[in-house]
Amino acid sequence: MTIDRFSNIAFLPNDIWVAIIIQVASNSIRDVCSLRMTCKAARDAGEADIIHRSVFIPPPHATPWWWCLNPEARRFLDRCMAAGNPELLFREALRELFIRCHVAAKYALSMTLLLRRDDNNRKQKGLELYRELDAVGSLADYNAMRFSILTIS
């Protein structure tokens, strides 16, 4: 059996390719990379900002630690960030919040660390942060604010 003509899939309009890649991007980065390697049309369509904005970024606990050291992966994540990927923008905002040591961020960090089951050293660090906030009197203000938020909702 022979094929009389070649497939015309590479000649689909770019908008169709982008729509296909967006669907694939919502599942995994690996699938997007695999699809982009299939043909030139898929590779070109995969360069669109909308793809980088809608790609599924796995949670930090599901990503191998060495992945961020890979220069290609780093460039990909930087491109997603520049395109406005909401997950990466959210993570960056949280990182900035924690770096600036805002009282709410310290409180959230202390609660997060106290809830850990696998690391007693981190639990101890969370308790130290909580006691530090209590010592400067920030907890009373924060508890009042949190109570007012809870009564509104």
46-62 per-position pLDDT tens digit: 999 999 999 998 887 77
Q: Is 46 exposed, middle or buried (0-12, 13-18, 19+ CB in 10 A)?
A: buried
**In terms of residue numbers, what domain contains 139?**
101-153
pLDDT of res. 153: 42
Which of 64, 91, 118 is the last residue before a domain boundary?
Answer: 91
Same domain (yes/no): 134, 82: no
Confidence (pTM): 0.59
Find the DSSP H helices in the chain.
14-25, 29-36, 40-45, 49-54, 71-83, 86-99, 103-114, 120-135, 138-152
pLDDT of res. 91: 83
Report yes or no on 132 lying in a domain: yes
Report yes or no on 96 lying in a domain: no
Same domain (yes/no): 84, 108: no
Mean pLDDT of 20-33: 90
Q: Which of 139, 73, 67, 152 is nearest to 108 (CA)?
A: 139
Same domain (yes/no): 126, 84: no
| Long-range contacts formed by 108-114: CB under 8 A, 24+ apart | none
Number of domains in the chain: 2
What confidence category does residue 125 fall into, taking pLDDT thresholds of 50, 70 and 90? confident
Which of 42, 71, 91 is the last residue before a domain boundary?
Answer: 91
Same domain (yes/no): 110, 73: no
Which of 91, 122, 137 is the last residue before a domain boundary?
Answer: 91
Same domain (yes/no): 105, 149: yes
Share of the chain above pLDDT 90, in %: 24
Same domain (yes/no): 147, 117: yes
Structure confidence by residue, pLDDT tens digits, 85-106: 999 888 887 777 766 657 777 7
Does residue 31 have a pLDDT over 80?
yes
Share of the chain above pLDDT 70, in %: 82
Mean pLDDT of 115-128: 81
Q: For the chain, what's the residue count?
A: 153
